[in-house]
Amino acid sequence: MDTVSDRFGQNLSSRLPIHRGNMRQSGKKEVAKIKGMFQGKPTPEDACNQMANYMFDDKTKSWHNYFGWEIYFTGEPQHSAGGPYPKNGPIWSLYSFSSKNGAKQHILFQQESDLYEVNGSTKKCVQVQPGRKPPAQSDYLTSYTPFGKYVVIADGNNSIVKYRGGNKLFPVGWPEAPGPISPRSPGSNPASLGGGYFFDSSEDYIKRNASGLPVKIESENWPGLGTATKDEKNKYFYKVSFINETGSESPISQQSDAVKWTTTEFAVDGVNTTSRTGVLLSGIPTGPEGVVARKVYRTKNNATTFFYAFTIYDNITQEGVDYLEDDQLGDEAPNPSDSIVMPSQMPRFAASFQNCLFIDGGKKNPSRIFYSNPLQMDSYSASSYFEIGNRQGGDITGLFPYYNNLFVFRERAIDVISGTPGNFQVSPFIQGVGCKSHATIDAVPGVGICFLAEDGIYAIQGNFTGFELNITKLSTPIDLLSETWSRSGMKRAVGQYWPQAKEYHCYIPDSGSDQVGLGIVLHENFGWSVRDGWPVGCCTVDYDGNFIFGHKLGNANQYNTLPSGTAVGNGLMVISGKRQAGYVVSEPSPEKEIIPAPALTSTFRSQWHDMGYDPAKKQIKYLYIYAYTTGQQQVPIRWYRDGDWKAEFDQYAVNPSTSMVQEQSYLWERPDYPDQPNYITIPAGAPVPAESAIWDTSVWQDRYLTSIRVAVPLFMCSTFAFEIETTSKIQFVGYAVEYTATPTQTIRGKS
């Protein structure tokens, strides 16, 4: 028996009967479920050519377009003076974090040069930090990193800060060490009090000088400093450090001037005696905002090693008295190298890992990574850093912790930091694949760490102890799209996993632009689709699971000067079930205003079906779409042949009026049943259609899965595809194509 094979060598005898003579045989090609887009060859059975502005519903295994975006503050005068957004420009960065088990949510965003927090109760935006430098085209987007009750904000253009709500914004790290303490040496002649300051430890009161008022010592046990041996010399030094509310200790100060005196003998009630003394400390430095205490360190008598003496639990007091004996001192003081001045004032990236805060060296030192002392996000040791510039791969472009590893993304490589504090180590992970879009890096359940590279979306998988790490390219089905991505705009790309919809979103500049123009989505079924026309500048997901994005446009406050139909997007937007594509400027009658834009255009294109054998000509009879009823929705369906996405009359008909019909529209209702009732707007005075629903009277009905049959008047073809492009509300699962295979084959090639 003769057999035929396709271009990939697969035997097709079981897929397509051999046609001899005038035999015609009917066939049916069914795609029961659609997984998503696939642009390569050969095309999987469950793939389509294009899926734009659809969501996947895993419960029904269907695709729908029941969504759009609207303003985050619903119902507010968001696009006019007095609205919640004080500025007029695009949103540069956005991040949501919660505290008190989600009872309090914080949504931070930067608009123009100011950082704001959303106040959900008042529906206003509270200024957190003014005067921030916005990112230039060549800059990375802002990095937001949770660390305990704080979120750390770094962008490479402004000093790194930490925020915990309520306008509690502080710098990260210590800008400088404290100044030295100014202790007062006691007088050499206690009886006369003439040579300095003397505090007699044998009395309940101490005197600051001969004419000063007595000051009571609260402690009953203060033996005092110095030796009680006559004519022995005493010498002490002091240091101080700051403690902020994170528990971080600042660099320790330089040592003070020496406190010196000689123990002398004096008479008390005719009896010669000696005494220890207290030392007055003045000029105790106060720290920057956020300091809650100061630690005082002291040497032992005539020694050079410093030990903990006491803590001043405020940031106000500038004087104190030291009366501790040497054996009452605490642990040894930290070395000057244990906590240093902030090693990177303007890092671009930050990450929390193993209770340490990791930061990069910023624009001036882009291949160095610093990490803080454990549980002290503001304190950095002089030796706590890695230099990765000695390996190929380019500069650091992002930091991302994942279980027991911290991934260091670079321009053309990925390194990994592992271990624990005091034993961190950095190792190469992969060469040749990097990430210039740190805002796209996110953990996706069941997938791994997803990120955007120059040639597609990748995932790092495996990351548990005992499991080998590996990297997988996820976007192979849509690789043709990567050819349109703007390499110069990669730093502006953003990505976010949306748990509510179980989707990973990535929005990418394309066509040479530095602004986002294309969105791609990885769905729960591991299929891909695209988002077309979404003006996403940055995005986040709040505690309640809402997908929020900052609009990449501003101009809302000047809408009266804009042409009608201009897209307006000032502020924060949220994906919702409201089928609108944001807002536009209305017609100027009686005056311009901001109105909801029409629903998104959703596009579905099937794959090109050759019914098993491309050279054989087929006569397409019917197309069956497995759809859910969506009411009075008129949906156009177009069909095409032989790999050309053009209307039939564009190619063959001299007179379009005589060409074959290329498109038909259908109501997505069950053909052999009465239409389901729908809530529709009825013009005043118009008759009420029979299918209209009446509030509080009509019975709610579910959507029904139905087969919509479409007659296809089309010339014979080798391959067949169809398209649905609509703003109507639709939901469908799959489709089938009924055809007749003919003995006619493709004509001989041209010569």
DSSP character string of 238-256: EEEEEEETT-PBPPPPPPP
Burial of residue 41 (number of CB atoms within 10 Å: 0-12, 13-18, 19+)? exposed
Q: What is the pLDDT of residues 482-503, one digit of tens each?
A: 888 988 899 999 999 999 999 9
**Cα–Cα distance for residue pair 463/353, rounded to 1 Å:** 14
Secondary structure class of 467 (helix, strand, coil): coil
pLDDT for res 660: 59
* Residue 445: alpha-carbon gap to chain centroid: 16
Scanning the structure block, which residue is given the tokens 């729960």? 524
- Average pLDDT over every residue of 648-675: 68
- Least confident stretch, 277-281, 481-485, 668-672: 277-281
Q: What is the pLDDT of residues 689-721, one digit of tens each?
A: 766 777 777 777 788 999 999 999 888 899 999
Query: Is pLDDT of 8 > 50?
Result: no
The amino acid occupying position 266 is F
pTM (predicted TM-score) = 0.87
The two beta strands, 238-244 and 291-299, are: antiparallel
Average pLDDT over all residues of the chain: 85
Backbone angles phi, psi at 401, to 5 degrees: -85, 145
Q: How confident is the model at residue 228 (pLDDT cuts 50, 70, 90)?
A: confident
pLDDT for res 720: 94
Is residue 320 a contact partner of residue 295, using CB atoms and an 8 Å limit? Answer: no
Query: Is pLDDT of 150 > 90?
Result: yes
Q: How confident is the model at residue 652 (pLDDT cuts 50, 70, 90)?
A: very low
Two tokens at 226?
């110095």
- Least confident stretch, 327-331, 476-480, 656-660: 656-660
Is residue 329 a contact partner of residue 298, using CB atoms and an 8 Å limit? Answer: yes
- Least confident stretch, 310-324, 465-479, 613-627, 694-708: 694-708
Is residue 464 a contact partner of residue 404, using CB atoms and an 8 Å limit? Answer: yes
Q: Higher-confidence residue: 652 or 299?
A: 299
Strand order in the sheet with 114-119: 91-99, 104-111, 114-119, 124-129
Give the C-alpha distances (Å, rounded to integers) separating 267 from 192, 227, 272, 279, 578.
Answer: 11, 17, 4, 22, 93
CB atoms inside a 10 Å sphere around CB 444: 18
Percent of the chain that is helix, strand, coil (3-state, to 5):
5, 45, 50
Most confident among 101-105, 172-176, 219-223, 671-675 (mean pLDDT): 172-176
Q: Higher-confidence residue: 466 or 575?
A: 575
Q: How confident is the model at residue 316 (pLDDT cuts 50, 70, 90)?
A: very high
pLDDT for res 16: 42
CB atoms inside a 10 Å sphere around CB 445: 10
The string of DSSP letters for 647-678 reads -HHHHS-SSGGGSPP-EEEEESS-TTSPPPPB
Secondary structure class of 569 (helix, strand, coil): coil
The two beta strands, 602-606 and 720-726, are: antiparallel
pLDDT for res 421: 94
